């Protein structure tokens, strides 16, 4: 991910108010955002209610409307990773609220046949574990976000965080062990 490439250039133009730049940005980042969404949602069980396309579109809308001083492409995808992690968590929380006495909606018989099981609550457990990790060690949590949700390489994550690649690899190993313990109790 080149920090001087077309995405970085368009991000800067868009920040300066160019609507054309913002319009040209989506086709350049869409494929990578789609891959991130598919990768993220690939671990969910069959029948979850959030599609990769919907995740990409929601994340892009949030990113496009964000008041962020984009530094470069790596920064954009780091923020995108955070958004792509938050959207399924928000979605799962909303579905669980609905199951526990949330607002009921009328549905037709045709619509009822399209009902699928809710998004796995595992995403909530992962989110809670990452939040606890961030309280304990913010950088380890950011490394996990950048690598797993942002699709960045160790080199890109190191550059984004201002640390060395060996530091990223070492902290990732510790973060994975900590998260495994938190999620499995072992």
pLDDT tens, residue by residue, 36-71? 888 777 665 555 567 888 888 888 888 877 778 888
In terms of pLDDT, which residue wins out, 87 or 172?
A: 172
pLDDT score, position 63: 84
Q: How far apart are CA 19 and CA 70, in angstroms?
A: 15
CA 97 centroid distance within chain = 22
**pTM of structure:** 0.61
| 14, 130 Cβ separation under 8 angstroms | no
Q: What pLDDT sits at residue 48? A: 58
pLDDT range class, residue 109, cuts 50, 70, 90: very low
Band the pLDDT of 106: cuts 50, 70, 90.
very low
Predicted pLDDT of residue 45: 52
The mean of the pLDDT values for the chain is 78
Q: In 3-state terms, what secondary structure has residue 150?
A: coil
20-41 confidence digits (pLDDT tens): 887 898 888 888 888 888 877 7
pLDDT of 133 over the 70 cut: yes
């Amino acid at each position: 991910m080149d920090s001087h490439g077309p995405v970085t250039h368009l991000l800067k133009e868009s920040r300066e108010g160019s609507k054309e730049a913002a319009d040209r940005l989506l086709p350049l980042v869409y494929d990578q955002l789609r891959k991130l969404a598919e990768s993220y949602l690939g671990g969910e069980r069959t029948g979850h209610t959030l599609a990769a396309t919907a995740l990409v579109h929601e994340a892009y809308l949030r990113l496009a409307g964000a008041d962020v001083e984009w530094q470069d492409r790596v920064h954009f995808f780091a923020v995108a990773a955070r958004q792509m992690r938050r959207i399924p968590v928000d979605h799962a929380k909303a579905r669980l609220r609905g199951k526990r006495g949330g607002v009921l909606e009328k549905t037709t018989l045709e619509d009822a046949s399209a009902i699928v099981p809710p998004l796995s609550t595992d995403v909530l457990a992962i989110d809670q574990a990452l939040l606890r990790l961030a309280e304990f060690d913010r950088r380890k949590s950011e490394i996990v976000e950048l690598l797993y949700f942002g699709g960045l390489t160790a080199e890109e994550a190191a550059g984004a965080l201002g640390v060395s690649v060996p530091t990223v690899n070492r902290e990732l190993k510790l973060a994975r062990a900590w998260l495994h313990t938190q999620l499995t109790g072992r």
